[in-house]
């Protein structure tokens, strides 16, 4: 078929489950209630770093309605989402490592009784020196994490490609500066929640607001010392995740263990404050960049030195440390490249993956450096990016194989839509336009735990009522992956999405999927789904062809009908075609699976990290109005063009672009996950009042522009859309602020006070 | 989510019933609930009873008399913000009411609740767990008898400070003071009136000059026959939801283009609003650019925000100067 034959692909679809959510009847984890259910609460450390000398729960256990109390020694096996860095216990054993670290968990007949019982648990602490600055932690003698092997150095990566020193030495222009990313969190509106029950046969079922049911399944088996076959993990509808629910958390182990101990269902819902302590948000990074250019603006070399503030645990930190360097090597040819990234343990909530894992911070440093170079060289910033664009089917300096690449089209799209050429020079003081570009992965070629099995699998069955069921382990976290699967299957099988049931994210019912992270689902699970759907299509078209005595190739399945493409008058209802096929083949079920290519990365150590089957590309133009007297930045409009390969469902792609822009914009001017020495390691304001996420009055107008450069490795050419469009939002806004008022703030967030100070310093120098 | 611990709620239907319930030790008023309920969830307070006012109709409504506006304490902020009488006779009050929080909150929150809003501080408006980690402070230590705080006498904002500097954060209060409003206060033993400015004392722990068992019935805002320009301005980071980080109410009465009365009342400094001394400079002069600059300088000189609410105190002070100057410039343009 040619693309013009597509009847579902690239259309607009109502998201599966959308009406349930709009009507308020979707059942989230906290909506689930089971008979005899207990409620659990976790006692948390008030100290940023303290040895636990003793825990006495006898008073709590004597309180009416209190059923059980567990502590770290009840679950001594350490875990970690990355198998090489298992440095976390379900509850602290030897030491508490940050304010909010879990120390004990109580199960009681009601939430209120559980809360009151926390005050009946006596913990004796020996307070230890705490470190809130990564460089101070690296220099300290005291080791924060008891499982750490190299003091407070959580991970170090040093890689060099080409001769950076020589290239910088010969450069006509070197932009050298220190950049700082401050740290932000996800802000999913649904707090983490988990419910566990053990049935009479010993099967443990855990419902959890997670985006990685499979990894949770594995870690539960390990920590609870219970065979994985005796555990079932179910992910109910999720109220947002954004990377903040992509590994196991204390509450899941606690409810499971307490359920095993008490024989009763146990539920635990985090408070908003606990969500801030669970964190795993974007790492604060201190970045020293030297970026060299020749006189024409050609990039010669990048030298990046980065310190990552990891918090108390590794989380995905090993990967984050690699990503902070590895993902910078597109969409520009870098010439030579060196990065030195060090992640430190600190006595703070652990950082981890947030939408655009590890690469949002360096992208900010890089794109601001490019903007500075454009000014120095007198080149239009869009033209400077064009000049350095790497193009399609090429190898990056760190040996990643890039396939399709729509970056130049993205640049052209935002240049045109924003009126860049006509408007930019004419905007007065205080009013500016800024540009930035970026790239991101569509999943990673290597799984978190090494194995030879496929990364994704889907099973589809058809039944004689004329519908399809898709069984997929993938986690729909609001991004619409269930809908994406329904569109892909419906396209092949002639079914509109409303005739397709997607059963996802249940480890008993569905094939294994690794989860919703690193923007992997559309490409990987989409490919697996396409394979299964095509096998079924073949069976159905064969059965139709047999009855019509024609070639199966001329049978098309569209809009609930089988149609003879050579004789469009000849049609049969799809339900009848399915019945013919079931008569011929028996139960109509097929599976599809997908594994990543293993030949698209460098052979050096670490070369596989950051390698993806396909890369998305993005360009942003941001328009701002700055009040130079108050330092307030008004976000007027953002144009974002994103190359998603092929848009499987346009509305969903646009939704991801818009959501990414909002999230990124808030990280520039509003949100800050503040934990430092000023408040003794306490979070400055662990609430949605003090952690200022934008309201509708604070968000700019957004124009989402879809660019399609289909990649041979994606299903119908599709690549990712969920994370890439966040990256260049941030530097585009920062560059627009410079365009507006002529000063730069290289440490985020751009607060009014910082901007006023920068403008005052500029005025003192006689500038502007 | 943080659950609200069980507290008995009484629902009187008359003012007399409400006042007698409020006379019980430890009883607190529950009006819109938008301030007290989040505070109680965080362990700020432990009332023996919540006296709900939702069935006391006598407390609600805006009326106009010879002396001016009379607004019941139970009138919602939405009603205040949208009342034609308030918009006509005290436009800056409507402006202030409309700037509180969000539409849903204003539909619940009452004017009385805003006038009696508890003071706020970034070291206090946190969870029980959070405050306990630091050992509490001057304000929070006494608010939860279940918590055993070690540092009851400490101030984290002013090291060594003995008086709590938690900030008055109510949007309507600076305006009501600038408009010379009076408060009607009742207890089981009778009713009295006092200038609204005298309702506040300089102590963040309890900044209301109300005795236990006393209740605000409403506020009266006198009318002004002549020309008047008034405005309420606040700085906050987001366009909605946020409490003010610094605020100012301005009122200028004019006769033949010359100022006969001038008021500038600033909020979110310490426990009570500050009345900037502007008369000496302003009276007799026209409302113009030069006055805008001078009064903004006066406000900047006389007001020193503390690190009691979020965002740098220095920038909040800077913002006060800018907001005051711009507000007067805008009022001058109207004139």
Q: What is the CATH number of domain A285-445+602-764?
A: 3.30.365.10
Cis peptide before A687 (omega within 30 of 0): no
Look at residue A142 in the predicted model and tell me its pLDDT: 95
* Residue A235 pLDDT exceeds 60: yes
Average pLDDT over residues A688-694: 97
Chain A partners within 8 Å of B146 (Cβ) = 119
Tens digit of each residue's pLDDT (9 = 90 or more) over B128-165: 999 999 988 999 887 766 655 555 689 999 999 999 99
B122 touches chain A (CB under 8 A): yes
How many angstroms separate the CA of residue A370 from the nearest CA in chain B? Answer: 30
User: Residue A533's closest CA among A489, A500, A575, A502?
Assistant: A489
The pLDDT of residue A3 = 39
Low-confidence ranges of chain B (pLDDT < 70): 144-152, 335
Count other C-beta atoms under 10 Å from residue B291's C-beta.
22
Count interface pairs A-B at CB distance under 8 A: 80
- Measured between CB atoms, does B132 come within 8 Å of chain A? yes
pLDDT of residue B3: 85
With a cut of 70, say whether residue A312 has pLDDT above it: yes
Residues of B in contact with A684 (CB under 8 A): 122, 310
Rounded Cα distance, B303 and B245, in Å = 13
Long-range contacts of B140-144, Cβ-Cβ distance < 8 Å, separation of 24 or more? B140/B44, B142/B205, B143/B43, B143/B44, B143/B45, B143/B46, B144/B43, B144/B44, B144/B45, B144/B46
The pairing of strands B62-64 and A336-345 is unpaired
Measured CA to CA, the distance from residue A134 to residue B309 in angstroms comes to 27
Residue A616 near residue A720 (C-beta atoms within 8 A) = yes
- Answer whether residue A75 shows pLDDT above 70: yes
pLDDT (mean) for A638-646: 98
Asked if domains A3-25+454-594 and A285-445+602-764 share a fold, the reply is yes
**B134 has a chain A CB within 8 A of its CB:** yes
**pLDDT over 90 (residue A439):** yes
A449-460 pLDDT, tens digit per residue, is 999 999 999 999
Of B3, B134, B243, the CB nearest to A680: B134
> Any CB–CB contact under 8 A between B150 and chain A?
no
Give the closest of A46, A111, A670 to B133, CB-based: A46
What average pLDDT does this structure show over A341-364? 98
Domain B227-334 sits in CATH 3.30.365.10: no
User: Predicted ipTM?
Assistant: 0.96
The DSSP call for residue B168 is P
Averaged pLDDT, A49-63? 98
Q: Is B322 on the interface with A (CB under 8 A)?
A: yes
Residue ranges of E strands in A75-163: 95-96, 102-108, 122-127, 153-161
* Cβ contact B240–A272 (<8 Å): no
Q: H/E element holding B53? A: none
**Cα–Cα distance measured from residue A135 to residue A309, given in angstroms and rounded to the nearest whole number:** 8
Q: What is the dihedral of CA A106, A108, A110, A113, to 10 degrees?
A: -70
Residue whose pair of structure tokens reads 């655009």 in the numeric block:
A356
Question: Nearest C-alpha of chain B: how many angstroms from A744?
Answer: 19
The pLDDT score that the predictor gives to residue A40 is 98
Arithmetic mean of pLDDT over chain A? 97
The H or E element spanning position B97 is: helix B91-98
B103 in contact with A, Cβ within 8 Å: no
Q: How many CB atoms lie within 10 A of CB A165?
A: 12
The whole-number pLDDT of residue A79 equals: 98
Q: What is the pLDDT of residues A498-512, one digit of tens each?
A: 999 999 999 999 999
pLDDT recorded at residue A1: 41
Residue A657 has pLDDT above 80, yes or no: yes
Q: Single out the residue of A657, A717, A665, A275 nearest to residue A479, CA to CA.
A: A657
Please tell me the distance in Å from A337's CA to the nearest CA on chain B: 39
Nearest to A692 among B133, B237, B319 (CB): B237
Band of the pLDDT at A2, cuts 50, 70, 90?
very low
| Contact residues for B160 (Cβ-Cβ < 8 A; gap 6+) | none
pLDDT at residue A266 above 70?
yes
CB A481 within 8 A of CB A525: yes
Chain B residues with CB-CB distance to A46 below 8 A: 129, 132-133
Does residue B145 belong to the interface with chain A, where contact is any CB pair within 8 Å? no
Q: Among the CATH numbers 3.10.150.10, 3.90.1170.50, 3.70.10.10, 1.20.1600.10, which is that of A32-128+188-241+245-278? A: 3.90.1170.50
Residue A630, pLDDT score: 98
Question: What does the pLDDT look like over A77-130, one tens digit per residue?
Answer: 999 999 999 999 999 999 999 999 999 999 999 999 999 999 999 999 999 999
Domains of chain A: which residue ranges? 3-25+454-594, 32-128+188-241+245-278, 285-445+602-764
Chain B, window 24-53: residues with a beta carbon less than 8 angstroms from a chain A beta carbon: none
Give the predicted TM-score (pTM) of the model.
0.97
Contact B314 A753 (CB under 8 A): yes
Alpha carbon of B330: minimum distance to chain A alpha carbons (Å): 16
Q: Does A276 score more than 50 pLDDT?
A: yes
At residue A437, φ and ψ (nearest 5 deg) are -130, 165
CATH fold label, A3-25+454-594: Aldehyde Oxidoreductase; domain 4 (3.30.365)
* CB A188, CB A691: distance < 8 Å: no
Chain B positions touching A269 (Cβ under 8 A) are: 1
C-beta of residue A255 within 8 angstroms of C-beta of residue A194: yes
**What confidence score (pLDDT) does residue B148 get?**
53
Task: Please give the full DSSP string across B209-260, using - where no structure is assigned.
Answer: ---TT-EEEEEEEE---SEEEEEEEEE-SSSSSPPPSEEEEEEEEEETTEEE
**A695 → closest Cβ in B125, B240, B318:** B240
Query: Contact at 8 Å (CB) between A209 and A246?
Result: no
Residues of B within 8 A of A683 (CB-CB) are 130
Q: What percent of chain A has pLDDT over 70?
A: 99
pLDDT of residue A420: 98
Of A99, A631, A698, the CB nearest to B238: A698
DSSP lists the bridge partners of residue B112 as none
Cβ burial A175-207 (10 Å sphere, 16+ → b, else e) = beeebbbbbbbbbbebbbbbbbbbeeeeebbbb
pLDDT value of residue B151? 58
Alpha-carbon span A739 to A626, nearest angstrom: 10
Quick check: A295 pLDDT over 90?
yes
Which residues in chain A have their CB less than 8 angstroms from residue B235's CB? 630
**How far apart, in Å, are the Cα atoms of A715 and each of A419, A617, B208?**
34, 17, 67
């Amino acid at each position: 078929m040619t693309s013009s034959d597509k009847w579902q692909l690239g259309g607009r679809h109502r998201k599966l489950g959308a009406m349930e959510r709009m009507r308020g009847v979707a059942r989230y984890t906290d909506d689930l209630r089971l008979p005899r259910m207990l409620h659990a609460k976790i006692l948390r450390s008030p100290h940023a770093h303290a040895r636990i000398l003793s825990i006495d729960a006898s008073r709590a256990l004597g309180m009416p309605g209190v059923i059980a109390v567990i502590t770290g020694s009840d679950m001594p096996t350490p875990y970690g989402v990355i198998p090489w860095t298992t440095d976390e216990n379900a509850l602290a054993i030897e030491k508490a490592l940050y304010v909010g670290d879990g120390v004990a968990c109580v199960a009681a007949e009601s939430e209120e009784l559980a809360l009151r019982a926390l005050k009946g648990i006596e913990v004796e602490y020996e307070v230890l020196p705490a470190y809130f600055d990564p460089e101070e932690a690296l220099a300290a003698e005291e080791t924060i994490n008891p499982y750490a092997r190299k003091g407070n150095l959580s991970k170090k990566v040093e890689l060099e490609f080409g001769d950076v020193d020589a290239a910088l030495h010969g450069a006509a222009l070197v932009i050298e500066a220190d950049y700082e990313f401050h740290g932000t969190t996800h802000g999913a509106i649904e707090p983490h929640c988990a419910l566990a029950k053990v049935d009479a046969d010993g099967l443990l079922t855990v419902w959890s607001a997670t985006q990685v049911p499979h990894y949770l399944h594995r870690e539960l088996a390990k920590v609870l010392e219970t065979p994985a076959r005796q555990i079932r993990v179910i992910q109910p509808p999720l109220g947002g995740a954004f990377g903040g629910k992509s590994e196991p958390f204390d509450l899941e182990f606690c409810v499971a263990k307490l359920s095993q101990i008490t024989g009763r269902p146990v539920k635990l819902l985090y408070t908003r404050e606990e969500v801030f302590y669970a964190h795993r948000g974007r790492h604060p990074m201190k970045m020293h960049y030297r970026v060299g250019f020749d006189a024409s603006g050609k990039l010669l070399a990048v030298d990046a030195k980065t310190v990552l503030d990891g918090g108390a645990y590794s989380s995905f930190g090993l990967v984050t440390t690699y990503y902070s360097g590895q993902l910078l090597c597109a969409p520009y040819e870098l010439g030579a490249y060196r990065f030195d990234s060090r992640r430190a343990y600190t006595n703070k909530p652990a950082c981890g993956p947030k939408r655009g894992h590890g690469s949002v911070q360096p992208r900010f440093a890089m794109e601001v450096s490019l903007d500075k170079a454009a000014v120095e060289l007198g080149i239009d910033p869009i033209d400077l990016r064009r000049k350095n664009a790497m193009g399609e089917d090429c190898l990056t300096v760190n040996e990643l194989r890039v396939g399709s690449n729509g970056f130049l089209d993205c640049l052209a799209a935002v240049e045109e839509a924003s009126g860049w050429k006509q408007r930019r020079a004419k905007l007065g003081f205080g009013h500016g336009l800024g540009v930035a570009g970026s790239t991101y992965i569509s999943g990673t070629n290597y799984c978190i735990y090494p194995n030879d099995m496929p990364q994704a699998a889907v099973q589809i069955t058809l039944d004689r009522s004329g519908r399809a069921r898709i069984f997929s382990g993938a986690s729909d976290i609001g991004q619409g992956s269930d809908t994406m699967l329904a569109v892909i299957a419906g396209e092949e099988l002639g079914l509109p999405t409303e005739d397709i049931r997607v059963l996802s994210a249940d480890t008993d019912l569905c094939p294994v999927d690794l989860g919703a992270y690193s923007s992997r689902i559309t490409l990987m699970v989409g490919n697996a789904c396409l394979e299964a759907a095509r096998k079924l299509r073949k069976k159905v078209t064969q059965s139709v062809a047999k009855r019509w005595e024609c070639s199966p190739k001329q049978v098309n399945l569209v809009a609930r009908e089988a149609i003879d493409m050579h004789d469009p008058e000849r049609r049969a209802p799809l339900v009848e075609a399915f019945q013919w096929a079931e008569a011929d083949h028996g139960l109509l079920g097929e599976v599809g699976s997908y594994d990543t290519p293993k030949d698209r990365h460098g052979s050096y150590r670490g070369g596989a990290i950051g390698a993806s089957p396909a890369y998305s590309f993005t360009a942003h133009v941001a328009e701002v109005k700055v009040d130079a007297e108050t330092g307030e930045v008004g976000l007027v409009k953002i144009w974002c063009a994103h190359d998603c390969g092929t848009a499987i469902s346009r509305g969903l792609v646009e939704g991801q672009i818009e959501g990414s822009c909002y999230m990124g914009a808030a990280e520039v001017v509003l949100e800050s996950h503040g934990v430092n020495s000023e408040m003794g390691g306490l979070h400055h304001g662990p609430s949605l009042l003090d952690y200022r996420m934008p309201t509708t009055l604070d968000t700019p107008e957004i124009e989402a522009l879809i660019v399609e450069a289909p990649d041979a490795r994606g299903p119908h050419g599709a690549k990712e859309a969920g994370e890439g469009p966040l990256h260049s939002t941030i530097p585009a806004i920062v560059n627009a602020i410079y365009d507006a008022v002529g000063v730069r703030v290289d440490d985020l967030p751009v607060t009014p006070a910082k901007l006023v100070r920068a403008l005052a310093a500029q005025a003192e120098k006689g500038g502007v | 989510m943080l659950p609200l611990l069980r507290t008995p709620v009484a629902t009187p239907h008359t003012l007399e019933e409400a006042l007698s319930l409020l006379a019980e030790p430890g009883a607190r008023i529950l009006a819109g609930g938008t301030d007290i309920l989040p505070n109680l969830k965080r362990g700020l307070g432990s009332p023996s009873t919540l006296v709900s006012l939702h069935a006391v109709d006598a407390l609600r409504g805006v009326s106009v008399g010879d002396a001016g506006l009379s607004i019941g304490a139970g009138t919602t902020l939405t009603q205040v913000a949208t009342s034609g009488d308030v918009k006509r006779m005290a436009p800056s009050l409507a402006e202030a009411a409309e700037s509180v929080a969000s539409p849903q909150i204003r539909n619940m929150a009452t004017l009385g609740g805003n006038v009696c809003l508890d003071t706020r501080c970034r070291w206090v408006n946190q969870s029980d767990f959070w405050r306990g980690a630091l050992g509490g402070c001057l304000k929070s230590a006494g608010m939860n008898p279940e918590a055993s705080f070690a540092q009851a006498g400490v101030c984290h904002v002013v090291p060594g400070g003995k008086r709590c500097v938690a900030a008055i954060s109510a949007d309507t209060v600076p305006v009501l003071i600038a408009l010379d409003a009076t408060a009607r206060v009742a207890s089981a033993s009778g009713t009295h009136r006092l200038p609204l400015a005298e309702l506040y004392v300089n102590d963040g722990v309890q900044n209301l000059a109300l005795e236990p068992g006393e209740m605000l019935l409403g506020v009266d805002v006198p009318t002004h026959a002549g020309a008047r320009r008034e405005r309420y301005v606040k700085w906050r980071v987001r366009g909605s939801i946020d409490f003010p980080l610094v605020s100012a109410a301005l009122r200028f009465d004019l006769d033949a283009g010359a100022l006969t009365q001038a008021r500038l009342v600033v909020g979110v400094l310490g426990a009570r609003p500050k009345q900037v001394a502007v008369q000496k400079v302003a009276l007799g002069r026209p409302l113009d650019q030069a006055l805008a600059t001078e009064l903004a300088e006066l406000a900047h000189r006389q007001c020193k925000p503390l690190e009691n609410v979020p965002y740098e105190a220095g920038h909040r002070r800077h913002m006060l100067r800018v907001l005051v100057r711009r507000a007067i410039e805008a009022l001058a343009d109207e004139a």
